[in-house]
C-alpha cells in the first residue's frame, strides 16, 4: 500500500483517485451491446452470454425444478444464517415506512402525499468470482416490503450454465418472481428494452463491475431508472491509537478481496498505527483464498497520515467513501461531521462485514464519490411519492386570483382562463 504523510490539499485529488476506467473507455462497448439487444432480443443476449461467460444456453430462465434442487444443496446452517439476515434487513426496512402526509395549505385547499411501489423492478446480482446472494436480501426484501409486483433477477451463469444454489435459494425465499441466467451488459440491456423472454422493468438495482455500472447509467437514456451508479467496492477507515491494528487490517482486506479494482484507504493521525496496520495487512493477506485478487486491490490502495482530525474529516468528505469505518477515540467528531459517505460503521466491534450481511442496513451503496449526491438503497428506493390535491369552491376563491395574476405574468393565458372560468361560475 502506498503511504502518504501530511499531503497538501493540492495533492488530495491525485491521492484519492479511483482505480477505474473512465466512462468513455467503456461506453463504446456498452452502446454496441445495447444496440444489438434492442434490435435482436434474446439472440443478442445469447451471443454475448457465450462471448463473455463462455456458455451457450437454450433457455435463460431458471426453472422451478432448478430452484427446488438448489434448496437441497444449501446447508441448514447457511439457510438459518440467511434467514437471520433477512429478518434484520426486513425489520430495518419496514421501520422506514411513512404514513400519508396531509395538510390544508389554505382554507379549502387540501394537499397530501402518498407513496406507491414501483411496479416492475430488475435486480442485478453479480455471480462471477463471488456469488453475492447477500445482495438479493438487500434488494428483494425491501422490494417486497414496498409492494413491487414484479421482481426480475438477472445473474451470470457459471461455465456449466448453472447459478449458485445460494443465489437461487435466497431469491426464492425473498419473493423474486423471475430469475434469468444472464449477466453483464447484456443483462442490463435486456431489462432496459425487454426481450422475448426477459421483461422490461422500470428501475434497475444492484452493483456490478465497471461495465455493468456504465450500462446502468446508459439505461437511464432509455426510460429506465437506476438505484445509483454502484461500481467497484471501496472502504475508508479512520483510526487512531485507540483502534486495533489487526481489526483495521481485516476490514481493509474484506473489501480488497471483492475485486482487483476495489480500493481501500486508511486515514490516521498515528504513524505507529499505520506501520502496524501495514504489517497486519501483509500477514493476513498471506492466508486469504482470494489473495491474488486482494493483492491487486491493495496495490492501488492508500495509507494516509494527517496531523489533525479536522484535516482527516475534510479529506474523507472529499473522497466520499462507499463504506466509512470510524475507529477513533473521538468518534462523535466524525459521526456528527461526516457529510459524504454511503454507510458508516462506528467502533472497534463494528466491521463492515456486518453491514454487508446481517446487521439490517443495506449494502447497496454509492461508490466512486457518488455518496456526495446519492443515498444507499433503502425502502424509498422502491417507491414513488405521489402528490394529490383537492380544492373546494372556497379554496379556488382563496387562491384563484393569485393563480390568474401569476399565469398572466408568464404569458400563459390558457392557464389563467382555467381559473377565471371557475371563478365566474362561483360569482
Identify the residue whose cell numbers are 371563478.
Answer: 423
- Give the single-character DSSP code of 382: G
The pLDDT of residue 71? 95
- Give the single-character DSSP code of 222: G
The pLDDT of residue 259? 85
Residues of CATH 3.40.50.1980 domain(s) within the chain?
A: 2-6+232-360, 23-102+117-231
Q: Give the C-alpha separation, 35 to 44, whole Å.
A: 9
Q: What would the pLDDT profile of 140-153 be if each residue is shown by its tens digit?
A: 999 999 999 999 99
**Which residue in the list 164, 258, 323, 363 is annotated as catalytic?**
323
The pLDDT of residue 186? 98
In words, the CATH class of domain 2-6+232-360 is alpha beta
**Which residue in the list 234, 280, 322, 352 is annotated as catalytic?**
322
The pLDDT of residue 238? 98
The pLDDT of residue 1? 87
The pLDDT of residue 427? 85
Q: Is the pLDDT of residue 83 over 80?
A: yes
Instruction: Give me the residues paired with residue 117 across strands.
Output: 383
The pLDDT of residue 24? 75
The yes-or-no answer on residue 323 being catalytic is yes
Query: Which numeric CATH code is attached to 23-102+117-231?
Result: 3.40.50.1980
Q: What would the pLDDT profile of 412-426 be if each residue is shown by its tens digit?
A: 999 999 999 999 999
The pLDDT of residue 130? 73
Q: How confident is the model at residue 128 (pLDDT cuts 50, 70, 90)?
A: low
Closest CA to 226 of 244, 257, 205, 200: 205
Q: What would the pLDDT profile of 295-333 be if each residue is shown by its tens digit?
A: 999 998 999 999 999 999 999 999 999 999 999 999 999
Contact 215, 191 (CB under 8 A): no
Contact 309, 317 (CB under 8 A): no
Task: Specify the higher pLDDT residue, 394 or 229.
Answer: 394
287: left (phi over 0), alpha (psi -120 to 50) or beta: alpha
Q: What would the pLDDT profile of 160-172 be if each residue is shown by its tens digit?
A: 999 999 999 999 9
The yes-or-no answer on residue 322 being catalytic is yes
Nearby residues of 34 by Cβ (< 8 Å), 6 or more positions away:
185, 189, 192, 193, 215, 218, 222
Secondary structure class of 254 (helix, strand, coil): helix
Q: What would the pLDDT profile of 6-45 be if each residue is shown by its tens digit?
A: 999 999 999 999 886 566 778 999 999 999 999 999 999 9
Task: Specify the higher pLDDT residue, 82 or 228.
Answer: 82
Q: Cβ atoms within 10 A of the Cβ of 392, count?
A: 13
The reply to whether the predicted model has a pTM over 0.75 is: yes
Cα–Cα–Cα angle for 115, 117, 119, nearest 5°?
150
Secondary structure class of 374 (helix, strand, coil): coil
Q: Is the pLDDT of residue 129 over 80?
A: no
Contact 237, 253 (CB under 8 A): no
Q: Give the C-alpha separation, 208 to 184, whole Å.
A: 8
Mean pLDDT to the nearest integer, 381-390: 98
Contact 226, 217 (CB under 8 A): yes
Amino acid at each position: 500500500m502506498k503511504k502518504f504523510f501530511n499531503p497538501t490539499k493540492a495533492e488530495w485529488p491525485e491521492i484519492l483517485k479511483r482505480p477505474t476506467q473512465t466512462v468513455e473507455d467503456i461506453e463504446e462497448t456498452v452502446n454496441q451491446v445495447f444496440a444489438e439487444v434492442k434490435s435482436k432480443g434474446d439472440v443478442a443476449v445469447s451471443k454475448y452470454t457465450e462471448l463473455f461467460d463462455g456458455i451457450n444456453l437454450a433457455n435463460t430462465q431458471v426453472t422451478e425444478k432448478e430452484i427446488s434442487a438448489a434448496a437441497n444443496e444449501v446447508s441448514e446452517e447457511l439457510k438459518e444464517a440467511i434467514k437471520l439476515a433477512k429478518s434484520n434487513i426486513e425489520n430495518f426496512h419496514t421501520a422506514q415506512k411513512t404514513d400519508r402526509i396531509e395538510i390544508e395549505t389554505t382554507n379549502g385547499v387540501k394537499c397530501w402525499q402518498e407513496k406507491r411501489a414501483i411496479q416492475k423492478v430488475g435486480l442485478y446480482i453479480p455471480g462471477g468470482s463471488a456469488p453475492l446472494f447477500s445482495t438479493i436480501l438487500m434488494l428483494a426484501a425491501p422490494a417486497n416490503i414496498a409492494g413491487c409486483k414484479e421482481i426480475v433477477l438477472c445473474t451470470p451463469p457459471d461455465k456449466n450454465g448453472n447459478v449458485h444454489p445460494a443465489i437461487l435459494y435466497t431469491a426464492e425465499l425473498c419473493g423474486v418472481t423471475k430469475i434469468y441466467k444472464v449477466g453483464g451488459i447484456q443483462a442490463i440491456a435486456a431489462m432496459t428494452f425487454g426481450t422475448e423472454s426477459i421483461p422490461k422493468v422500470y428501475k434497475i438495482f444492484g452493483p456490478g463491475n465497471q461495465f455493468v455500472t456504465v450500462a446502468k447509467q446508459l439505461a437511464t437514456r432509455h426510460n429506465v431508472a437506476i438505484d445509483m451508479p454502484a461500481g467497484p467496492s471501496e472502504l475508508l477507515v479512520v483510526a487512531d491509537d485507540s483502534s486495533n491494528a489487526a481489526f483495521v487490517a481485516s476490514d481493509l482486506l474484506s473489501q480488497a478481496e471483492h475485486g482487483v479494482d476495489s480500493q481501500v484507504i486508511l486515514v490516521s493521525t498515528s504513524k505507529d498505527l499505520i506501520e502496524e496496520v501495514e504489517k497486519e495487512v501483509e500477514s493476513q493477506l498471506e492466508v486469504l483464498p482470494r489473495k491474488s485478487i486482494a493483492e491487486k486491490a491493495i496495490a492501488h490502495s492508500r495509507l494516509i497520515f494527517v496531523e489533525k482530525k479536522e484535516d482527516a474529516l475534510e479529506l474523507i468528505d472529499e473522497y466520499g467513501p462507499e463504506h466509512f469505518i470510524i475507529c477513533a477515540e473521538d468518534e462523535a467528531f466524525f459521526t456528527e461531521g461526516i457529510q459524504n459517505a454511503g454507510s458508516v460503521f462506528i467502533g472497534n466491534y463494528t466491521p463492515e462485514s456486518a453491514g454487508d450481511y446481517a446487521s439490517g442496513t443495506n449494502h447497496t451503496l454509492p461508490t466512486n464519490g457518488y455518496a456526495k449526491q446519492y443515498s444507499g438503497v433503502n425502502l424509498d428506493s422502491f417507491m414513488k411519492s405521489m402528490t394529490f390535491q383537492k380544492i373546494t369552491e372556497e379554496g379556488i376563491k382563496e387562491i384563484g386570483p393569485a393563480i390568474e395574476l401569476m399565469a398572466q405574468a408568464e404569458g400563459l393565458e390558457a392557464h389563467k382562463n382555467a381559473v377565471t372560468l371557475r371563478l365566474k361560475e362561483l360569482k
